[in-house]
């Protein structure tokens, strides 16, 4: 019985990761504002890390990063590394988690976006001799950060509701009616 709950939870998480990846790569590029799109996989990774702890955040980050590695160019494991690290670090903040507290998730989203984009800048641009950090920050990071924060306000609540629904279903099935 315990394995069924675990399999169901993992299946729903996998569907969420796959859905976020499909939306991020197929839908958002069609509706770009200022040539930036929110990073749904990063939002998903930090949300699960923050809500459920480091282990769940790392596993979610691993699968999100593997999807990015499979479909984008570069060395394999490049995105997996940053997503796993983000999932772990955000899991540390689990002890400060409250359902209706939105300020900390927004701060975490902003910090994750900046760290993620600096990671991209250092290993994709700086290593190739492109040193224009100010241009990168103003033209790419800032619009993506703004849109990610806006999307986080909506998506984070959806992830909370899905998690609560799963927890409620598991509790109801765990109760024996005599």
What CATH number is given to the structural domain containing 160?
1.10.1760.20
Q: What is the pLDDT of residues 88-135, one digit of tens each?
A: 999 999 888 777 788 889 999 999 999 999 999 999 888 888 888 899
Residue 175 has pLDDT above 70, yes or no: no
pTM, two decimals, is 0.88
Q: Report the number of distinct structural domains present in the chain.
A: 1
**Structure confidence at residue 34 (pLDDT):** 60
Q: What is the pLDDT of residues 149-162, one digit of tens each?
A: 999 998 888 888 88
Domain range for 148: 2-174
3-state helix/strand/coil string of 77-138: CHHHHHHHHHHHHHHHHHHHCCCCCCHHHHHHHHHHHHHHHHHHHHHHHHHHCCCCHHHHHH
């Amino acid at each position: 019985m315990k394995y069924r709950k675990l399999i169901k939870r993992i299946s729903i998480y996998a569907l969420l990761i796959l859905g976020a990846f499909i939306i991020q790569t197929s839908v958002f590029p069609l509706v770009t504002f200022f040539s930036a799109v929110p990073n749904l996989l990063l939002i998903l990774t930090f949300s699960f890390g923050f809500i459920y702890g480091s282990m769940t955040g790392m596993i979610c980050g691993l699968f999100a990063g593997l999807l990015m590695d499979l479909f984008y160019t570069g060395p394999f494991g490049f995105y997996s590394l940053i997503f796993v690290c983000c999932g772990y670090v955000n899991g540390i903040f689990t002890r400060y988690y409250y359902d209706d507290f939105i300020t900390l998730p927004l701060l975490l989203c902003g910090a994750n976006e900046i760290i993620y984009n600096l990671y991209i800048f250092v290993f994709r641009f700086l290593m190739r001799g492109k040193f224009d950090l100010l241009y990168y920050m103003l033209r790419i990071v800032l619009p993506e950060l703004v849109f990610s924060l806006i999307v986080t306000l909506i998506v984070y609540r959806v992830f909370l509701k899905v998690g609560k629904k799963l927890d409620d279903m598991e509790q109801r099935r765990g109760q024996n009616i005599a």
